[in-house]
Chain A
Amino acid sequence: MADQARVVLGMLPPLLSGIVRRLLAATPGAAVVGEAADAAGLARAIRLHRPTAVVVQTEDDALPPELCRLLCEVAGLAFIGISRDHSRATMFVLRRDRIHDLGPRDLVSAVLASAGDGPEPVHRAAPV
């Protein structure tokens, strides 16, 4: 069975939060482990519950600076930002892939992969 998706909800309007909770409660492999009403509470909840994803409401599809800091701090954490009109969402993920025994072509491959049109680095290890 796949690992459990552990979700923290942050600063969502009550109705949106209620629907997300119900949907995830009915989804095997996912669980809401915490909720916070402000950025400070969200930081505490993330450190306490170590979620795999945080669902927040965002302005203009951008992640606020304080949440960007959390994204950098916690490896593997995904932020899912729901727009204010609730019609779309943006997923923010900071991915760290390590290349062992780096060769020149590996570096070139990594550069090309960053643009999405090159081969994957040859010695990619699991994300860290």
Chain B
Amino acid sequence: MMHLLIVSGVRFYREGLSEVLAGRAGVAGCSAALDAAQARALLGAEPRPDVVLLDVAVPEARELVAGAARAGARVVVMAVGGADDALLEWVELGVAGYVGCDASLEELCETVEAAARGELRCSPTMTATLLRHLSGLAGMVRTARHAGAPVRLTSRELEIARLIAGGLSNKGIARQLGIEVATAKNHVHNILRKLQVEHRGEAADWLRLHAPAPDAMDRRLMTV
């Protein structure tokens, strides 16, 4: 029998889903939290939740995924308030299930129950997205194996690679960093040579696979 914790800032979902899910076979109890602080308190209290149903709109939702894992709970995220296209990001954070904004109540219940059993219930769209991503990763791993020695970019090159991944042209990079266009071009050329790729998009893929997540400053730069 599972204990469930529902985390959502929307009262209708906290109370509505508690009422619906508490009546399902296999659910021993249901508690609810409206924010991350309440959720953390309930994760440490008895009975410990087996599954956390987490609204992606809750502030600090990503941090909560890690907190729930430390507490031994599986997390199902739900994007109920609207579109959330960060499926891969949630998967990389280690969630046990994902419910999109178009999911039905029955699909949500089945996803939660599957997570409690240690299974992943995937919609066809979600499966297609994950398989495409897996295929891309496999291709990059093959390329990396053939390339031999690990690639080392300087911190400046890494900074420029992030700007490339953000879609900036050589001119845009030059303007962003206050350097000459020719200098930016040289950096980009060196990055492509070191990564043994021909196109800027491949450099962006490499960055997503190998480089640490940019900090807040880099994120700001990438969106300029």
The answer to whether A15 touches B82 (Cβ under 8 A) is: no
CB <8 Å contact, A85 and B81:
yes
Q: Which of A78-128 contact B (CB under 8 A)?
A: 82, 84-87
The chain B residue with its CB closest to the CB of A87 is B10
- 23 inter-chain pairs at a CB distance below 8 angstroms, sorted by A residue, are A14-B103, A15-B78, A15-B99, A15-B101, A15-B103, A15-B104, A15-B105, A16-B12, A18-B20, A18-B104, A18-B105, A18-B106, A19-B13, A19-B17, A19-B105, A23-B19, A84-B82, A85-B57, A85-B82, A86-B10, A87-B9, A87-B11, A87-B12
Question: A13, A14, A15 — which one has the most chain B CB atoms within 10 A of its CB?
Answer: A15
Q: 0/1 per residue, B7-40, Cβ < 8 Å to A? A: 0011111001101100000000000000000000
Residue picked from A18, A23, A84, A87, most chain B C-beta under 10 Å? A18
- Give the residue among B11, B105, B106, B108 with the most A Cβ atoms within 10 A: B105
Min distance, Cβ B55 to any Cβ of chain A, angstroms:
10
Residue of A nearest to B99 (CB): A15
B215 in the interface (beta carbon within 8 A)? no
Q: For chain B, what secondary structure do more than half of its interface residues adopt (helix, strand, loop), or is it mixed?
A: mixed
Shortest A101–chain B CB gap in Å is 46
- B109: nearest chain-A partner, CB-CB: A18
The one of B11, B19, B108 in contact with A15, judged by C-beta atoms closer than 8 angstroms, is: B108
Number of B residues with CB within 8 Å of any CB on chain A: 22
Interface residue? B221 (CB, 8 A) = no
Q: Contact at A86–B102, with CB atoms within 8 Å?
A: no
Residue of A nearest to B9 (CB): A87
- Min CB distance B180 to A, Å, is 48
Contacting residue for A14 out of B13, B78, B105, CB 8 A: B105
The interface on chain A, measured as residues whose beta carbon lies within 8 A of the other chain's beta carbons, has a size of 15
Is B80 an interface residue, CB under 8 A from the partner? yes
Interface positions of B from 95 to 154, Cβ below 8 Å from A: 99, 101-106, 108
Q: How far is the CA of A13 from the CA of B79 in the complex (A)?
A: 12
User: Nearest Cβ in chain B — how far from A11, in angstroms?
Assistant: 13
Q: Which residues of A contact B102 (CB under 8 A)?
A: 13-14
Which residues of A have CB within 8 Å of B20?
Answer: 18-19, 22
CB-CB under 8 A from B99, the residues of chain A are 15
Q: Which residues from chain A contact B103 at a C-beta distance below 8 Å?
A: 14-15
Give A33 to B57 CA distance when docked, in angstroms.
32
Q: How far is the CB of B17 from chain A (nearest CB, A)?
A: 7
| Closest chain A residue, CB of each to CB of B100 | A15
Q: In the complex, what residues of B have CB within 8 A of residue A23's CB? A: 16, 19
Q: Which residues of B contact A15 (CB under 8 A)?
A: 78, 80, 99, 101, 103-105, 108
**Do residues B106 and A86 form an inter-chain contact, with CB atoms below 8 A?**
no
